[in-house]
Structure 1
């Protein structure tokens, strides 16, 4: 009987630990401090020169990127055709193409085909 109770306690603890590991809290990029502040041309050049080293440095890190808007849609902004920024919610701003912008987001990778650094969970930190 004691073996079953011990086994049951160990099983319950394992389930609780597993649940907490799988369902971790999501990061709040808006409240995080950017680890790096770079120009879009700088980060794009780093990824183009050596994507492995750049990914080790920037991947899953919060960064702040600045440059000129080359494309803007309801949920995305492209900066200088080099950095693709995806927003969690619809963008509600009066920004247009060729406006200066500073965006904070999480680096999720580099698209070799389009030669763009990809960010998600982005927020606009400075407009014009």
Structure 2
């Protein structure tokens, strides 16, 4: 009886672990944004209270409108503070100082570099 109960518990535990590890990945591009704001608003929130702001936005999909201040093959920076990582190479039509709307998942605030970080980003010309 105890062996049967132990086997059932092990099967249930294994099933739960499998479902946790192999859960569906989020599709940030098609997910509705929890927050839509200007880069200056987001930067201001983090300058006032970074811990509270990080808790508010962590792992949420957000849309940010701002000006490109740095651009590379797979990432760009808005207003020198918001770092956006892309899964694919960026469009060649993007240029410095152009206004864009970025949609991505907020992954954290780097207090050493004072950067707001997003990943799985997509871009739309504003």
> Taking structure 1 as the reference length, what is the TM-score of the superposition?
0.90
Structure 1's consecutive aligned runs of 4 or more residues displaced over 3 angstroms after TM superposition are none
Give unmatched runs, 5+ long, in structure 1: none
1:109 Cα deviation after fit: 1.1
1:101 Cα deviation after fit: 0.3
Aligned pairs, how many?
126
1:116 Cα deviation after fit: 1.8
Specify which of 98, 111, 127 is matched with residue 125 of structure 2. 127
Give unmatched runs, 5+ long, in structure 2: none
Structure 1 equivalent of residue 8 of structure 2: 9
Structure 2 equivalent of residue 55 of structure 1: 54
Contact 1:68/1:79 (8 A) holds in 2: yes
Structure 2 equivalent of residue 26 of structure 1: 25
> Taking structure 2 as the reference length, what is the TM-score of the superposition?
0.91
User: C-alpha separation between the residues in 1 aligned to 2:66 and 2:77?
Assistant: 9
- Report the aligned-residue RMSD: 1.4
